[in-house]
Structure 1
Amino acid sequence: MTKTQKAEIIEVLSNEFKSAQTVIFCDYKGLTVSALEGLRNSARAKEAKVQVVKNTLATIALSNAELTGVELVDTNILVWGADSVAASKVVSDFAKDNEKFVIKSAYVDRVPADAAMVEAFAKLPGREELLAMLAATWMAPITCFTIGLDALRQKKEEA
């Protein structure tokens, strides 16, 4: 790999990491290519990105994006996205299905975090689920009011 190729990779990753809320580092040693393609497909569905990057290039890109505090060692695959919960769910679900895939550390909401924090974020409801809960909460008074009106109508019809 030439210096210009390395510089391009660093520039692209720096821009990606600046816009990402979450960057997760995982060990993928021993996984098959088809398994990694499955990870990429599930990440793509949740608007997250996945890439294997050399540790030195990733470290430089992270420092350019003002993300410090996590040391990269051994083999790493990076998963990042604008939605912290979605990226965490992708990684957590994939780790449950593949024993060789291990969550190491992360930046969650641009703060250094461990694997337990990633798992905690994965258990949170997603954006769509939260919007559904909010809509149900807003609809509750209207629903109760219409049920009460219907009960009053039935009572008056009986009398």
Structure 2
Amino acid sequence: MFDTKEVHRVANEKNQQNLSSLRGSLSGVDTFYVVDYQGLTAGQLSKLRKDIREKGGQLIVAKNTLINIALQDGGRDFADALKGPSALVLAHEDPAGVAKTLSDAAKANDKGIPAMKGGLVEGNRVDVKVIERLASLGSKQSLQSEFVGVLSSHLSSFVGILEAYKAKLEEGAGAPVDTSSAVADTEAVSAEVLSADAAPDDSAPEATV
């Protein structure tokens, strides 16, 4: 026969350990998402963990009460979102990339799971629409690649113009032409392109507090 007191003692000790682990994981984190994972198979959940980890994130499954206590310790109340099976997805390095990973996983099954419930982005409470908009931006790596592609196309155009300019002058003068001033102009324009492309996007979504 089970000793109910011993069962409760062990359960309480385990809860305290889990709560301590949650507090440690949340320390210093300013971006996370609360998701519903009910309906995912063990294999799907394992793959989701792996995909999130590759984006520098972490998926945590725990009791809602423990998650809420750990969040409230940091002054964050998500009791309204913590209904039904819930998981915390921490985004340590790439908030947009982690959000996109969750979005892609939901699109991969007919249940739309994991389903977003809400979250915190850069310390601000946000709703599902903001997270979906963030997911549409893609990962940090893809944004960087897109930027490099745009910059490269600009530089290629300038190099082509420079070569054509040099050839035309040499053909007309019959002698080599000093293109140092044109090179300087190209570098100046390239710097302007770099500055413009690196500027923040005013159309980016604002967090809803």
Normalised-by-shorter TM-score class: 0.7 to 0.9
Q: Partners of 1:70 and 1:99 in 2: how far apart?
A: 28
Distance 1:69 1:79, change over 3 A: closer
Partner of 1:81: 91
Q: What CA deviation, in whole Å up to 9, does each residue of 1:86-123 have, x standing for no partner?
A: 22111111111123312222222222222211111101
RMSD between aligned alpha carbons?
2.3
Q: Quote the residue 2:66 is aligned against.
A: 57
Structure 1 residue 70 displacement after superposition = 4.5
Q: Note the C-alpha offset of 1:37.
A: 1.2
TM-score, normalised relative to structure 1: 0.84
Partner of 1:115: 128
Contact kept? 1:25, 1:78, Cα under 8 Å: yes
State the partner residue of 2:162.
149
Larger radius of gyration between Structure 1 and Structure 2: 2
Specify the alignment match of 1:41 in structure 2.
Answer: 50
- The 1:8–1:25 alpha-carbon spacing in structure 2 relative to 1, beyond 3 Å, is same
SS in 2 for 1:105: strand
The answer to which structure has the higher strand fraction is: 1
How far 1:125 sits from its partner (Å)?
A: 3.7
State the secondary structure of the residue aligned to 1:19: coil
Amino acid at match of 2:68: T
- Alignment size in residue pairs: 159
TM-score (norm 2): 0.66
Out of 23-32 and 53-62, give the one that drifted further: 23-32
Matched-pair identity in %:
28
CA–CA separation in structure 1 for the residues paired with 2:106 and 2:30 = 21
Q: Which runs of 4+ in 1 moved over 6 A?
A: none
One-letter amino acid of the counterpart of residue 105, structure 1: G
Instruction: Show structure 2 runs of 5+ residues with no match.
Output: 1-9, 173-209
- Larger relative contact order (C-alpha < 8 A, sep ≥ 6)? 1
Cα distance in 2, alignment partners of residues 19 and 11 from structure 1: 15
Letter matched to residue 151 of structure 1 = A
Q: Is the 8 A contact 2:97 2:138 kept in 1?
A: no
